[in-house]
Structure 1
Amino acid sequence: MGTGLGHYIPLVAYLGFWVMIVVSLVKNPLYGLYYLMPFLPYRTMRDHFLIYPLGSNMLTILIFAVIIGAFFRGKRLPPSKLFTVWLIYAAYLYCSMWLGTALGLSRAPLWLNDTNFVTWKDYILIPLVFVAASLVIEDRKAIRNIVFITAISLLFIDRASLMESLSHSWAAFDENKRDPGPLAWGANITAAFLAQFGMFFWGFLPFLKKGRYKLLCYALVAATLLATMYTFSRAAYLSVLVGVFMIGILKKRQLLIVLAVFLMVWQAVVPTAVRERVNMTENSNGQLEASAQERVDLWENAEKSFLHSPIVGNGYATFQLGEHVDNLRDTHNWYVKVAVETGIVGLIITFWLLQQMFALSFRLFFKAEDPLYKGLGLGLIAAMASCVIANFFGDRWTYLEITGLLWVLFGAAARANQLMQTAPEEAPAQLAAPSSDSVNPYMAYR
């Protein structure tokens, strides 16, 4: 803005964490959740905290403060099988790390200087976000606020992504011009986040009734899709197409026609650099280009490793410690990595978790009468469809930056499901004292 104050933004944000930690513990933990949400994906902003005391742990501390503050006030989790699945999953992954130790593939997972233990600890922060959100989101107003703050958080990521991407000339595709993005882990990670939440708000959009909110949501979706396009991630492109297909099947059949037309004419309407990126899977000799060939080589090696121990795998977080093609530390397919590290048992728990997430989303979409809850349900279905596809091309699941906000929304969905089920019991009281909000759910977006 040219004021010179931008230098102080990280410090103010850091101090804000300490304020919200205190607020969460002594007053209202919901405010702490609201505050941390924009920082979940914005890793580059959080990295500025590293120069301050406990700067690298501010997010973790605030999440624990929200949970502790909620328990102090007697708040309870809504009923959901997702909590049980996560508890089983976390325990299994920890035991799986000891298997890796027994096989001589990793150190004992005991201390913060053990790579495998740190990997597990960072992953477990994701279900803790879900627990924190589920505890403190207790009513319809909080659910509405969560969706709104998610939109604001996405807008920040859109802005940062577009500013980085459009600072380059894209007359032709150039891998060296791809920026890591505001999530800090690479362009493909940012792309997975953008595709996922672009689809969430596209699914949420049909249930907004007021024109100005609808227009703002259209603008947010358009900005997100533009940012996704300039990440040059082929996996993200496919994720968007699948997300749009799901929305078309479940809500807007016209989208299926638009999707079919786009697939026929896309090479004529997308920028040249995007077309080059999509078409570079094979080189002029008909052979796979370097990144695609790397994936094939990794999967072939992973298959041999899986067959060595198909039931329980080789131990969670061990793949990153081995020697692989071009010194890569990831299988470039999350499902393959789950199979290699945790075996068939780990895959079963993983698919159980995904099934429960889809079940909760479909339940809200098909059974809720409130447009807010229906929009939340369809948005999560589209986001999950995008997420499932993205993970075929790399680990897009264990990054808090990608899925943190998604789990906040699932916490809201779990509470919405409970509110939806208890609503009939409250109907007599509402009928006795009717109001415009109670008889007309469309007034929710005032």
Structure 2
Amino acid sequence: MNVNATTVESNTVATLNHARPARQNWALYLFVILIPLQNIYVQYVPDFGGGLNFLNLMLIASFLMALRCGGGLVRGTGVNGWVMLYLAGGVLALMIGLANVADASGHGNALKDKSIAVLFVFLAQMSVTDRVGLKRMFLASLLPLPYMFYVLRDQSSAVSAWHYTDHMRISATFMDLGANEMAAFFVTACLVAFGLVIGSRVGWVWRAVYAMAAGLTAVGVVLSYSRTAYIAILAGLAVTLLLSKARWQLLLPALALLVVLPLIMPPAAMERFQTISIEEEHRDESTDSRFVFWEEAIHHFKKRPLLGIGFHNFHHAEFSSHEMDVHNFFLRELVEKGVLGAVILLGLIWSITRLLWRGLAIARPGSWYVGLMLGLAGAWVALLIGNVFGDRFTHYAMIAHFWLYVGLALRGLQLRHAELDVQPDAAPDPELSDRESTP
């Protein structure tokens, strides 16, 4: 079955677009702008108690305004269903975990905060009903980047040195997180913006905006001194370039950049990059400790393989001799949620991967949507790589924008199918559509 036979619902949005101007979710715009700026709302926005804090209030306001927008959820891709199972699996793991550690205080709030980021995938679909809305919501995600870059440069200048030291690891606006999480956010933003630069035929002003966003965030990745981020962004760039129709034209510039890059990167960043190794005789203490955590995680998984030890439990003394996180998202899901959680995670990964492939297959060449899908495909690969050496999937401040982009990808797919229903001759990209799997 080809892409045109997909079951994605399209008539609802098409009808809405002709019936009235699209309503805007101003609360969600604000939420998208502020959520990576932990240094602002953690320090300056008061907590009124009783759950009335910044995250909860913004979520409620965004949800209520999303209901007014009337977008609904996109059907037929499987993504929303797997996301719901993923959220439900977290609740089940929380309930199981309460009986397995002496002090489970804060676990409920941790799950709630993690879930808020995931809910962005639903909020985006409910709030956006047309192509203008897609671009506006994406633009909102770019607005905090100049300020984040300013904070990054300010912190970096205070600790900069010729040779690398651990004191150079900064977190910019992510005051409750670390350099690795900051880097993961910048990797996602950089790759999505880069996809729009090379994939969409937009005016020079918008191309300059996307290029500036990619440049600012690329500097953020470099100054994070995160080795995982270095590997992830290179892999993501390779995927984005390979999927692009302009890959052969971009090959020489990409190779030239690889040659020039070592000459323009800070010496400390090059030192950090050169320490990348997983061979036992060459591993540093940070890398070596991860293998110790992984062995402990596998040991406890074997004891409780079906449902796991419970959400947020591994770092407790009952399970970790070092009282540290697993430092591998996939192993953490396995040990804390068991085989059931692993199956749900695999389903979620497959559904998002399939969404990206279907989006690229049906997107009109040169459209804004194809640029988004190119960048998001690279960001998805980078995110999966980053999760091998850490947890880049559960920190709400760094992952919320990724879920927002998935929601925009879903709505964009639906809008493209609506366009094909009206204009059957607007065929999908033949280079990709002939490889599309059965929905």
Please indicate, yes or no, whether the TM-score normalized by the shorter chain is above 0.5. yes
Q: What letter is aligned with 1:307?
A: K
Secondary structure (helix, strand or coil) at the match of 2:143 reads helix
Task: Tell me the equivalent position of 1:225.
Answer: 218
Instruction: Establish whether residue 151 from structure 1 lines up as the match of residue 147 from structure 2.
Output: no
Relative distance call for 1:68 and 1:177 in structure 2 (3 A) is same
Task: Tell me the equivalent position of 1:190.
Answer: 182
CA contact (8 A) 2:188 2:379 kept: yes
Deviates more, 1:400-409 or 1:151-160: 151-160
Relative distance call for 1:106 and 1:374 in structure 2 (3 A) is farther
Task: Tell me the equivalent position of 2:90.
Answer: 93
Secondary structure (helix, strand or coil) at the match of 1:32 reads helix
Task: Tell me the equivalent position of 1:237.
Answer: 230
Task: Tell me the equivalent position of 1:11.
Answer: none
Q: What letter is aligned with 2:132?
A: K
How many Å separate the matches in 2 of 1:327 and 1:243? 33
CA contact (8 A) 1:365 1:375 kept: no
CA contact (8 A) 2:149 2:220 kept: yes
How many Å separate the matches in 2 of 1:293 and 1:318? 22
CA contact (8 A) 1:319 1:329 kept: yes
Task: Tell me the equivalent position of 1:129.
Answer: 120
Relative distance call for 1:266 and 1:425 in structure 2 (3 A) is closer
Aligned residues between the structures:
396
What's the CA shift for 1:289?
A: 1.7
CA contact (8 A) 2:191 2:233 kept: yes
Secondary structure (helix, strand or coil) at the match of 2:163 reads coil
Deviations 1:116-173 (A, max 9, x none): 2222111211232221221011111110111222222333322322232133332111
What percent of counterpart residues are identical? 23
What's the CA shift for 1:321?
A: 2.2
Q: 1:211 aligns with which of 198, 204, 219?
A: 204
Instruction: Establish whether residue 349 from structure 1 lines up as the match of residue 340 from structure 2.
Output: no
Deviations 1:341-367 (A, max 9, x none): 112221121121122122222222221
Relative distance call for 1:153 and 1:280 in structure 2 (3 A) is same
Q: 4+ residue runs of structure 1 moved beyond 4 angstroms?
A: 72-75, 254-269, 323-326
Secondary structure (helix, strand or coil) at the match of 1:320 reads coil
Secondary structure (helix, strand or coil) at the match of 2:53 reads helix
Q: 2:79 aligns with which of 82, 94, 117?
A: 82
Task: Tell me the equivalent position of 1:379.
Answer: 375
Relative distance call for 1:402 and 1:100 in structure 2 (3 A) is same
Instruction: Establish whether residue 199 from structure 1 lines up as the match of residue 191 from structure 2.
Output: yes
What's the CA shift for 1:286?
A: 4.4
Relative distance call for 1:161 and 1:301 in structure 2 (3 A) is same
Instruction: Establish whether residue 293 from structure 1 lines up as the match of residue 288 from structure 2.
Output: yes
CA contact (8 A) 1:47 1:56 kept: no
Q: 1:322 aligns with which of 317, 321, 325?
A: 317
The TM-score normalised by the length of structure 1 is: 0.81
Q: 2:152 aligns with which of 158, 161, 168?
A: 161
Q: Which runs of 5+ in 2 are unaligned?
A: 1-21, 427-439
CA contact (8 A) 1:365 1:376 kept: no
Secondary structure (helix, strand or coil) at the match of 1:230 reads helix
The TM-score normalised by the length of structure 2 is: 0.82
Relative distance call for 1:343 and 1:254 in structure 2 (3 A) is farther
Task: Tell me the equivalent position of 2:435.
Answer: none
Higher relative contact order (CA 8 A, sep 6+): 2
How many Å separate the matches in 2 of 1:414 and 1:325? 39
Deviates more, 1:124-133 or 1:332-341: 124-133
Deviates more, 1:228-237 or 1:265-274: 265-274
Task: Tell me the equivalent position of 1:117.
Answer: 108
Task: Tell me the equivalent position of 2:17.
Answer: none
Q: Which runs of 5+ in 1 are unaligned?
A: 1-26, 109-113, 431-446
What's the CA shift for 1:76?
A: 2.1
How many Å separate the matches in 2 of 1:188 and 1:238? 12
- Residues 271-420 of structure 1 mapped to structure 2, 5 A cutoff: 271-281=266-276, 286-322=281-317, 327-369=322-364, 371-420=367-416
CA contact (8 A) 1:187 1:233 kept: yes
